[in-house]
Every structure is written in structure tokens, then in C-alpha cells.
Structure 1
């Protein structure tokens, strides 16, 4: 009996360690660009891809994405979003410092003087308005083997959990919505889903607390997914879905297309 208990305890520690190793930390940056400077910013993305490529080579980040966003008629909307992927929160907090980017840029462009690289970064910053930067940790995701590539479609859903209902909201996402998304993946109506929580402490005035990424291979799959009706959903599960929806406020949703990625 004692051996059995020791074995179970060891297995629990190992499984917990494996989960901790798999946990990802993501920095989202939602960006506005003046329409007259869109081409300048799109040129900047190639520069940034090479800079972040050096960070991947050093093992400081796991990857970097640039997504274009569907903005509709909202003149205050964001046109682009970047995602930087980290293995741990310490590197995530250090990785956004300007001097870190300069070091990567010097490795990526050794033929360019530091003063010129600084000027290039300054010009790029002036071409955009970094409206939101949010540090997040992944707390749930579907089981899938999807590989991101340019052209991948996703919706970014920014949520604000009701004050005092964090646990209820996250439980609803894990126990109710995650299985629904997993069945969509099995039916070839979705490729990947994950739930992210703000990694830094937030107060009651925070604009959002969570974000979900719903990933599709193309628009056809996206629209078919929108028409999906879960025939396995019982009345009791439907009630839990309704309760889960009431535990958070969906602040806004953007449809995004992956333009550039570094891995």
C-alpha cells in the first residue's frame, strides 16, 4: 500500500512538472497604424521578423507572429496584432525592453551601425500607435496537432470575467466550452483553441482579464463552424453554457489573418 501511494505521488509530481513545462506565456500587442503609413509599417514587419528570428535562435522566445485584423467600419479599431511566445514569465517581462530588441537587431544586421538601427526602430515606432500591450499565460487548450502558417485565420475574443467570478468563468471554459471546441476539431470545423489569462494582477477597472483564440485553416471552415450545432449537448450542458456566458463580459472580437511568423 505504501509503495502504491509513493508511486501515485511520484506520478502526480511528474505530470505536474510536464504541464508546467508546457505552459506558454504570450505578449499581445494590438496596434493602430495611420492609413497613410500602412505600407511603411508592412515593410517594418520584415525587419522585425529578422530581429525576432535572432531571439528564437538564442532560445529567448519560442516564436513571434504578426496578424492583420478585420476592423469593419470602426475608425478607432486596430489594424494589426503581434504575439510573442515565451517559455517562462521572467523572459516575457524582460523581452519587451528596447535595449533587448537592439541586441537582437545588431545580431540580425551586423553590417548596419547601431545608430542606424536605433533610427530604424524609432521610425517604426512613429509609424504605429501601440494601443494595448497585454501579458498573458495560457491556462487551457485543445488537444490537436495544428501547425500555424501564413494565411491561418483566428478570432481573438477579449473577455472580462465578472468581479469575483474568475474561478466560475475559467471552470466554464475548461469544463463546458473546451469539450465543444474539441468536438469541432474532430468534425474538421476548427483547428485549435486556447484560453489565456492576464498574467499580471488586475483591478476591477481593468478592460479585460482573459482572451480566447479560436483558430481555423480558412474562411470556409470558419463559416461552417459558425453554423455548427452540437448534437451531443444535453439540456443540462446548455444550462451550464448559459451560466458560463453570464460569468464574463465579451469586450470585443477581432477576426485575424496570420501574415508573418517566426519559429
Structure 2
């Protein structure tokens, strides 16, 4: 394929993708920054986020330029060999908010007016390395109505979905697994579920294309024991566990599962 055709192809993807999301009932974009924290610097890093970065994000939320910001600890695999140890997530609900992401520097100077900005910047950079930033778009979410703030614990499941199977993957989630997840919310086993599609960076070389996020109020809810087979029979009386597994494995490749623990957050008033 020639360079001109490649450019047209990529531009078509970008142009087509955004209107589809905007036409949805719940447009949400997530900017996820993955952080590597040097050995022994976790406490300093968290303090930096809470005392230097958090007030800036709070002001951006106050100005309507962001829906929320959250800080998450990712304990496993951990150690100096881990790719990252923490993640921050910024949520935007429209394109104007996304465009305002570049206002961070100006708001930073405003919030920390009168302080030594060079020293603050040095503190930011010495406590962590920004490994990568990914942008994802939400394609579906539902949660317990009583959940008004981020869940204390989430399970992040990374999927590789072939380009030709995106619709099949989403239909599989909606038809087979969403009824199960909603039943789990009903019985108190989980707090919610979110489905995200990776938008940037994009391409077949990426290790994942979609993320499913299981929301839990706390660790007790996550480890809560329940009869999965009985629930499956109630929700899908014509389906077996083997059938559910086979459909899943024939549709997606599960790349990795991570457990994230909430450290801090700011959000717009509900």
C-alpha cells in the first residue's frame, strides 16, 4: 500500500471513530499515564501527586476542563523489573475538554503561584518516570447506582481483539457476560463494569486493543464467594460454562490481568 493510501486509511479510521463515539449516549475518553517509581520512592511519589499535581487537577475539574483524575497503585509484578508501578487516569466527556488538556502548564503556574516552580517541577520528575500515555474511548459502562466515587479496587483486563472481530467481541460482552455482571451487581458481588477501546497509540503492533474494567467496592467484595454455576443457570439457562469459555476464547485473546488499588482522586460534583 502506498504512503498516500496509508495516510488516507489512517485518516478514515480517525474521522470515522470519533463521530461514532460522539453519537453514543455516553462519550468518555480516558488518558492513562503509566508511572515507573524508583525503588524506595513510593511514599515521595504519592506525596508529590497529592500535594503538587492533585490541586492542579482539582482546579481543572473546577473549571469544567476535566471530569475526574485518579491515582492508582499497581502492586504486581512490582520491583525494579516492573514496567510501571502506578497509573493516573484523566477522564474527559467531550472534545472541548480533550482540547483543553494542554492547559495544564498554565493552571499549574496559577495554582502554585508564589512557589518555586522549578523546584516543584524537579520534584515531579525525580519521583517518577512517565513510561507511556494511552488514550482510550469508552464503549459501554454500567454500575451500582450507589457507586458515586471511583471503586476502591478495579481489575483491569487487557484484550487483543482482531480488527474484524470488534463487533463480535462487543456483542459477546453484551449478550453473554453483561447479564452475568449485572446479576453480580444485584447480589453485591461487584460494583460495576466498563469497556474501553484503545484509540492511541493504534496499530497491530500494540499488545492490546481493548480493556474491560471490573469495579469492586473493596477487597472483600472482590473475594466474596458465590455460586457461579447457579447464577449462570439462572441468567443463561441454555448456556454452559464450557460454552461461555469457548465463545470467549474464539473471539479475543486475553493478554493480561492487573489489580489496581485507588490511592486518591478528584471529580466533578455528581
Please give the range of the TM-score, normalised by the shorter of the 2 chains: 0.7 to 0.9
In the alignment, is the contact (CA less than 8 A) between 2:156 and 2:260 conserved in 1? yes
Q: Distance in 1 between matches of 2:144 and 2:249?
A: 25
Pair 1:128–1:35, CA change in 2 (3 A): same
Q: Report 1:195-214 matches (<5 A).
A: 195-200=195-200, 202-214=202-214
Deviation larger for 18-27 or 138-147: 18-27
Match among 76, 81, 91 for residue 87 of structure 2: 81
Q: Hey, what does 1:59 align to over in structure 2?
A: 64
Pair 1:89–1:125, CA change in 2 (3 A): farther
Pair 1:227–1:51, CA change in 2 (3 A): farther
Pair 1:110–1:170, CA change in 2 (3 A): same
Q: Distance in 2 between matches of 1:18 and 1:143?
A: 21
In the alignment, is the contact (CA less than 8 A) between 2:57 and 2:69 conserved in 1? yes
In the alignment, is the contact (CA less than 8 A) between 2:134 and 2:201 conserved in 1? no
Pair 1:247–1:94, CA change in 2 (3 A): farther
Q: Hey, what does 2:49 align to over in structure 1?
A: 45
In the alignment, is the contact (CA less than 8 A) between 1:142 and 1:178 conserved in 2? no
Give the Å deviation of 1:228. 3.6
Q: Distance in 1 between matches of 2:29 and 2:38?
A: 29
Q: Distance in 1 between matches of 2:75 and 2:225?
A: 18
Match among 231, 245, 252 for residue 249 of structure 2: 245
Q: Distance in 1 between matches of 2:65 and 2:181?
A: 31
The number of aligned residues is 241
In the alignment, is the contact (CA less than 8 A) between 2:143 and 2:191 conserved in 1? no
Q: Distance in 2 between matches of 1:58 and 1:236?
A: 49
Give TM-score scaled by structure 2 length: 0.79
Give the Å deviation of 1:244. 2.6
In structure 1, runs of 5+ residues without a counterpart are 1-15
Q: Report 1:226-237 matches (<5 A).
A: 228-229=228-229, 230=231, 231-232=233-234, 233-236=236-239
Q: Distance in 2 between matches of 1:177 and 1:169?
A: 11
In the alignment, is the contact (CA less than 8 A) between 2:21 and 2:139 conserved in 1? no
Q: Distance in 2 between matches of 1:84 and 1:17?
A: 18
In the alignment, is the contact (CA less than 8 A) between 1:71 and 1:77 conserved in 2? no
Q: Report 1:105-144 matches (<5 A).
A: 105-112=108-115, 116-144=116-144
How big is the alpha-carbon RMSD for the aligned residues of Structure 1 and Structure 2? 2.6
Q: Distance in 2 between matches of 1:78 and 1:225?
A: 31
In the alignment, is the contact (CA less than 8 A) between 2:64 and 2:97 conserved in 1? no
In structure 2, runs of 5+ residues without a counterpart are 1-19
